[in-house]
Amino acid sequence: MRLWITAMLAFLTAACSPLAMFNAVIPKDAAAGRVQTGLAYGEHDRQKLDVYPGAGAAASKPIIVFIYGGGWDSGRRQDYAWVGRALAAQGFLTIVPDYRLVPGNLYPDFLADCAAAVRWTRDNAARLGGDPERIVLMGHSAGAYNVAMLALDRRLLESAGVPATAIRGAIGLAGPYDFYPWDADASRNAFGQWPEPLATQPVTYARADAPPLLLLHGRSDTTVRPRNTERLGARMRAAGGRVETRIYPDMDHKGILLALSRPFRSRSSVLDDAMTFARTVTE
């Protein structure tokens, strides 16, 4: 097992499609039913999503919409099949959407796409076996940013026709929430053209009536520093909002995502913590 884990870590640092390689070889959780792939939620080629049926006998399951990261300029839903299956195995109807990317599309285009994917999810939940009033948003890295913005900036989901009451909570893994002034190409490329920089920052929208947040981060993360989680947590508490923050020692930016996978989840409580929160807010 130790050699296998070492090999997987090598894949993640390889130059060629590390996540695609990881997804291809990693042992995955069993699917609870037929996985539906490439369903359109819009007209653009990137506006497609995959659906993973949740395990269990309940006729109307809670839902997780998982939004992957990639610096807003990369990522494919197909490479996150292992995440979709992991969350579905916990009893959640799971949706993994693609969204339009930089440089062809800039802020707030990718947020509009994520909001549209949530709207599609809500509209189609009943026929897929999900409860349209019990949706949890979850994301990693840039995807955690997208999730935080959907949860906090009420205009995004409202403009997509999603009532605030449908979002029961949001889970962010290693997300950038307070990163202006921009000091990285990814953030400059995605947000640099926007005339109001602070309007792009999740901390700007901290509010008492936001959906509950669970913010998870690795202390050893040098890609997105844990201060992002600490600052949004502090801002939410100051506003009277409901937020939980957890910083895992000796865990980096990739590790917190890998902790959702079968071979790595025993090394930390990331999946258990996320699922406990998701079940609590959807009860």
| Bond from prior residue into 103 cis (ω within 30 degrees of 0) | yes
Q: 229-233 long-range contacts, Cβ below 8 Å, gap at least 24?
A: 229/172, 229/174, 229/175, 229/177, 231/177, 231/178, 231/203, 232/148, 232/175, 232/177, 232/178, 232/202, 232/203, 232/206
pTM of the model: 0.94
Residues of the chain falling short of pLDDT 50: 14-16
- Break the chain into its structural domains and give their ranges: 32-281
The per-residue DSSP string of 152-196 comes to: H-HHHHHHTT--GGGEEEEEEES---S--S--SHHHHHHHTT-S-
Whole-number pLDDT of residue 18: 85
Task: Kindly report, residue by residue over 35-76, the tens digit of the pLDDT.
Answer: 999 999 999 999 999 999 999 988 999 999 999 999 999 999
182 and 188 in contact (C-beta within 8 Å)? yes
Whole-number pLDDT of residue 45: 97
Whole-number pLDDT of residue 15: 45
Q: Which two tokens stand for residue 163?
A: 């009532």
CATH code of the domain made up of 32-281: 3.40.50.1820
Whole-number pLDDT of residue 8: 56
Q: At a CB cut-off of 8 Å and minimum separation 6, what does 220 contact?
A: 249, 250, 251, 252, 255
Q: At a CB cut-off of 8 Å and minimum separation 6, what does 176 contact?
A: 141, 142, 144, 145, 187, 224, 228
227 and 175 in contact (C-beta within 8 Å)? no
